[in-house]
Homo-oligomer: A and B are copies of this chain.
């Protein structure tokens, strides 16, 4: 299967609304629940997604798509959001993520004008040379990964409450 740009957009466009539908207005108990020490609650996951919009996807794509000598990706700090957005409510974060995503889809549509550009490359600090098509696919899958993570974190809050059904609910055993 060849990456279809419009299909990748479909996922990227839907993530903010999906997260809003799932999380907006939820009780504090849900929003602050996590999987134990060192794990993120749903609100912190949105913080991480905001950082991705700001510092990861588009900056890396620009390095790949523009004619520059420097093809190394800048380092992305996966933990800075924990302090940077500590005072923001989840509603604030959802709004911020939604508006950044809208801008970034617009930028992506401006940056990619022909299929050939999918093959342009950059240098990942760990994986070495990677293609623009792989980064765009990863962006979409990264959204889905974190949506699945939030879903799992919420579910685990009821691990004891489900009683004997626990064995049947795979999500509680991950």
The answer, yes or no, to whether A160 is at the interface (CB within 8 Å) is yes
- Give the number of chain A interface residues (Cβ < 8 Å): 51
Q: A151 vs B134: C-alpha distance in the bound complex, in angstroms?
A: 19
Chain A stretch 86-140: residues in CB contact (< 8 A) with chain B: 124, 127-128, 130-131, 133-135, 137-138, 140
State the Cβ distance, A143 to closest chain B Cβ, in Å. Answer: 9
Dominant secondary structure at the A interface: helix
The CA-CA distance from A96 to B24 in the complex, in Å, is: 23
- B158 near A137 with CB under 8 A, answer yes
For this complex, 17 residue pairs linking A to B, each with C-beta atoms less than 8 Å apart, are A3-B161, A7-B30, A10-B27, A22-B147, A127-B164, A127-B165, A130-B164, A135-B165, A137-B158, A137-B161, A137-B162, A138-B158, A141-B162, A141-B171, A142-B169, A145-B155, A148-B151
The interface of chain A, by Cβ under 8 A from chain B, is 1, 3-4, 6-7, 10-11, 14, 17-18, 20-22, 25-27, 29-30, 124, 127-128, 130-131, 133-135, 137-138, 140-142, 144-145, 147-148, 151-152, 154-155, 157-158, 160-165, 169-172
